[in-house]
Copies of this chain bind each other. A is one copy, B any other.
């Protein structure tokens, strides 16, 4: 398996400021990897609210079930994330491991199990030996730091080739608040190796229902618009935590105008993290934006965009630097959404390659081929029927994807 950093990685990592009320610590629990951290503890001050969005898989992991059951409590004191083992499809053992991890954490952190949230990512179907956390938990609680964001992002990586971090600020009622986020990919939303996990912490004071509404809304235009291979993990998790230390008047209504700037910053942060996931797609060499306009509705546009972004033939064409818009037409056609071949317009970047159901009369192979050599490619489709639009992100499909995924478990 290649360990080279993705060519699409950002040139430098951002330095994340502290978020008051959040302390981070990492350790080597030896779950699967040797010589690297594989467990993250995020400890939160009392009064921290929590929101979450989880995989739609009908076969979710034990930690996902654990989190879902505790989300209605609305408060969190500790998050434990381990990499190396997903604790998914592990039956009763999986539930026991989850319970044991929560007990160990609650005891060390001095809080109730109901305020512990858990994530696991890594191999599926292998029993997770949760006793390995016991030896490191006291140290994790004792060593929490406000400045360990990069270490946190590194501890949750599986096949990621670079850590994913982003930060924003926003104002709520004249008070500046901070939002920090971390994420891991990498074969987006793929099972035993490529679960998508992301966590956002803010010092803003936001009641849990308002935080949940803001998160659920923003995910639609960020993480739900990125795909690597169309596979959905049993463990996908996005959570947000609000410590309330910034001193703003607590937001209780997601529709409060004073909350708008925060919501915008949250969406922007999640888009950056989602794009980082696509930039680290397994084997990715090109970052692809698919824009669909003129569909009958936004939902229809999104389905068409996803059909294009998930098409192996479109993705291999991009890998081959081939402006193969015929495959884009085919992907539109198979989406099952209203579309009329003779109204389609397709562009690669600013170059219109097809119009009204046939190749653009001005089509120039040399110009288009030169565009396809770029590291960032935009495929734009106008359906010509309505005003629905969508934008999704993906990467190309290369031999590297096959190598990584044919080799992973063995």
Binding site for B on A (CB under 8 A): 55-60, 86, 88-94, 123-127, 187, 190-192, 194, 229-234, 310-313, 316-317, 319-322, 324-327, 329-342, 344, 354, 356-359, 369, 397-399, 401-403, 405-410
Contacts and interface: CB of A to CB of B under 8 A. Distances in A.
Closest 3 CB pairs between A and B?
A124-B326, A320-B406, A91-B358
Contact of A329 (B124, B190, B321, B369): B124
B123 A326 contact: yes
8 contacts: A58-B334, A59-B330, A89-B329, A89-B358, A190-B330, A233-B330, A322-B408, A322-B410
A341 B59 contact: yes
Nearest to A57: B333
Contacts of A88: 326, 329
Contacts of A320: 405-410
Contacts of A94: 358
Given A60-B341, A330-B59, A316 B406 contact: yes
Nearest to A355: B91
A324 B359 contact: no
Contacts of A57: 330, 333-334
B326 A89 contact: yes
A322 B89 contact: no
Given A89-B358, A124-B329, A312 B313 contact: no
Contacts of A93: 358
Contacts of A339: 58-59
A86 to B, nearest CB: 8
Contacts of A405: 312-313, 316-317, 320
A91 B409 contact: no
A330 to B, nearest CB: 3
A231 B90 CA distance: 33
A402 B233 CA distance: 23
Contact of A354 (B56, B89, B322): B89
A409 to B, nearest CB: 5
Nearest to A372: B410
Given A326-B191, A330-B190, A342 B91 contact: yes
A350 to B, nearest CB: 19
A300 to B, nearest CB: 11
